[in-house]
Structure 1
Amino acid sequence: MKILAIDTAAEWCAACLFDDGSGGLLGLEARDIGKGHAEALMGVIGAALERAGASYRDVEAIAVSVGPGSFTGVRIGVATARGLSLALKVPAAGVTTLAALAFEAEPLANGRPVLAVLDARRDEFYAALYGPGGAVHAAPAILDLNAAVAMAGLMKPLIVGSGARLVAEAAGLDGNATALADLRTAAIETVARLAARQGFAGEKPRPLYLRGPDARPQDGFALPRSGA
């Protein structure tokens, strides 16, 4: 099965075409753009397909990172994946950024559980705890530092993601407790591989926000009506 994977949950705008049958990465395009995913995403997908020598007709399934991450980025990625799924008449599946990071770290964990932690700012963290094979020990949640440290004390996990060092230091753990500590999202190929492992028979992708957007309308602010 040829899987088109999309990730716009963080600063990167990335897409790849992955052949689950052979386990081969056919084509990839990833750009560290920060913002502007809506304008860049279709061009990134087109470039990934071109590198693979493929077209949309070759896509047999779609995988997308559903967050947590950038509110706008997640919404753009999921909407694009669902639109392409409908247009191409192929299944689509969502994977969380936390599960993808844990999946990427499995070879480094040596059988230990993996705690995926992303710095959500405001002294909060997105976190989830996974066992070998992707078993969910603690589902994705937003935690304060004390709660994240308490989770790090469970089962002596390998801690990964952009919040890993902060949590490990607060828990009094050494550097061997962390890996992939600079990452806010997994490699795009990992998104495709994890979706293949999870399968495409479930519900359609939907965003996993865990909290509301940072940008909110001002209270009591309204534009004057025309002619008023």
Structure 2
Amino acid sequence: MTLLALDTALARCSAAVLKDDGALRAVSAELGRGHAEHLAGMVREAMEQAETDFSDLDRIVVTVGPGSFTGLRVALSVARGFAVVAPVDLVGVTTLAAIAEGAREMAEGHPIAVALPARGGEVYAQVFDEDGAPLGEPAALEAADFAKELAPDTRLAGAAAETIVGFRPDLRIIDRSAAPDIACVARLGLSAPVPDAPPAPLYLKPPDAKPQTRFRIARA
């Protein structure tokens, strides 16, 4: 299987091609914002490095969040567009699962709790077993509430791991990634089930921006 992986859910913008022989060609940059202006060029560069055409692709995998409200829509829109042009499977993986995948070896057989910063003192969080299988659903919740439920042998990963340790100093941080490694996104994409509908953004919290209603004219 030849696979194209895309990620714009957080500060990093990444594209990678994983080929049948296991060779991975990836392009990635810490952008913060401006993913839409850079992703297409990164896809082109990764495919040129991999000597791959769109007609060679069997699958596209894209991160669905949690993450930036606008950022993660960039890769999802591009992935859907590519899937229209090329008849490929389109699958999604979460940023939390991809970070857990990258931390599995360091966890040495322990469960992994992944936590990313959210607004208002909350974290985006989820716990995974030693094989990377989820032990619950991803959620946005108070960091203190998440921390107190973790088993003592849990290993911590993600950019909000330090916040969790503030409530549970007995726990060990093994990874502080603020965004997933695109290689992990690609690996998870190989075995991800093909959904009945195209992958959609995973919004665990509503956006900061709300429609303005102060000057709305009432309808008769």
Q: TM-score, normalised by structure 2?
A: 0.92
After superposition, residues 136-155 of structure 1 pair within 5 angstroms as 136-151=134-149, 153-154=150-151
How far residue 82 of structure 1 moved from its aligned partner, in angstroms, is 1.6
Among 26, 29, 39, which residue is 1:28 paired with? 26
Aligned to 1:214: 208
Aligned to 1:179: 174
- The SS at the match of 1:204 is coil
Aligned to 1:12: 12
Give, in whole Å, the separation in 2 of the partners of 1:207 and 1:44: 21
Count of aligned pairs: 217
1:168 equivalent to 2:165? Answer yes
1:158 equivalent to 2:152? Answer no
Cα deviation 1:152-190 (Å, max 9, x = unaligned) = x3252111000001101221225xx11221x22211111
Aligned to 1:95: 93
Asked if the contact 1:113/1:155 (under 8 Å) is kept, the reply is no
1:86 equivalent to 2:84? Answer yes
How far residue 210 of structure 1 moved from its aligned partner, in angstroms, is 0.4
How far residue 199 of structure 1 moved from its aligned partner, in angstroms, is 3.9
Identity of aligned residues (%): 35
1:2 equivalent to 2:2? Answer yes
Asked if the contact 2:92/2:192 (under 8 Å) is kept, the reply is no
Asked if the contact 1:93/1:202 (under 8 Å) is kept, the reply is no
Give, in whole Å, the separation in 1 of the partners of 2:202 and 2:104: 22
Give, in whole Å, the separation in 2 of the partners of 1:113 and 1:201: 27
Backbone CA RMSD of aligned residues: 1.8
Give, in whole Å, the separation in 2 of the partners of 1:130 and 1:38: 31
Query: Structure 1 201/124 Cα, relative in aligned 2: closer, same or farther at 3 Å?
Result: closer
Asked if the contact 1:130/1:137 (under 8 Å) is kept, the reply is yes
Letter paired with 1:192: A
After superposition, residues 99-114 of structure 1 pair within 5 angstroms as 99-114=97-112
Give, in whole Å, the separation in 2 of the partners of 1:120 and 1:6: 22
Structure 1: 5+ residue stretches without partners: 224-228
Aligned to 2:59: 61
How far residue 219 of structure 1 moved from its aligned partner, in angstroms, is 3.6
Among 181, 192, 202, which residue is 2:186 paired with? 192
How far residue 216 of structure 1 moved from its aligned partner, in angstroms, is 2.3
Give, in whole Å, the separation in 2 of the partners of 1:157 and 1:139: 17
Aligned to 1:226: none
Runs of 4+ in 1 over 6 A off after TM superposition: none
How far residue 113 of structure 1 moved from its aligned partner, in angstroms, is 0.7
Asked if the contact 2:3/2:186 (under 8 Å) is kept, the reply is yes
Give, in whole Å, the separation in 1 of the partners of 2:206 and 2:188: 26
Q: TM-score, normalised by structure 1?
A: 0.89
- The SS at the match of 1:133 is coil
Cα deviation 1:90-109 (Å, max 9, x = unaligned) = 00100000011111111111
